[in-house]
Amino acid sequence: MSQASIEIIKEFFIIYNFFVLQKDDILFVQNAEVNEPEDMDKFILSGSEVSKVLKNGVIKPVCWHTMKFTPVVLSRFPEIFEFSKGRYNSESKKFFQGENFKKVLVIPSLPVSDKLQKESIKIMKEEGVDYLITFPSVIANLIEKIDARNVYLSSVNEILRVLKFYKFFTDKEQKLPF
């Protein structure tokens, strides 16, 4: 577990107005501003879509930044999906007090090939994952939402703000979907 990566994901959800609670390497998120989340057929979400489709969520960051999440990787490491079953599922029900919640996996990337990508997504869905967000999308959306002229209490956001202020991110880089 990479605490730095989890902090980035926490800040991503906070900047989209979610309340975030961390337990071990799992995040419980709740957006009180959303009454009825939109139904969306998409499995892979972008930052702006998160606040529309997610009211309550259990987020599992998998911080293996050097790996592509191929079907082989997903089958060799079943612990990736433990957050959607057993202990965490009952804790999630208790935390959200009977309200519906979605299970969201945050990973570095999917395979490039369409065939492997579709197989990976199929496995994730079969294992109970409702949505997927990639780290590049999280980081790009966080950078986009940071105001270079604002001061942030979060050290993650403050570092991004300083980098943005000194133009370490060009406008073109901020808009890339990675």
Q: Give the total number of structural domains in the chain.
A: 1
> What pLDDT shows up at residue 178?
47
Domain that holds residue 113: 3-174
* Type of residue numbered 52: K
Separation CA 132–CA 145 (nearest Å): 20
Structure tokens at 131: 């949505």
- SS3 state of residue 67: coil
> Could you state, in chain order, the average pLDDT of each consecutive group of 10 residues for the chain (178 residues)?
88 94 94 80 89 93 87 93 84 90 94 95 96 94 92 92 88 52
DSSP 42: -
CB count in 10 Å sphere of residue 48: 12
Output the pLDDT for position 36: 77
Calculate helix-pair angle for 135-145, 155-165, nearest 10 degrees. Answer: 70
Distance of CA 135 to CAs 19, 21, 50, Å? 20, 19, 13
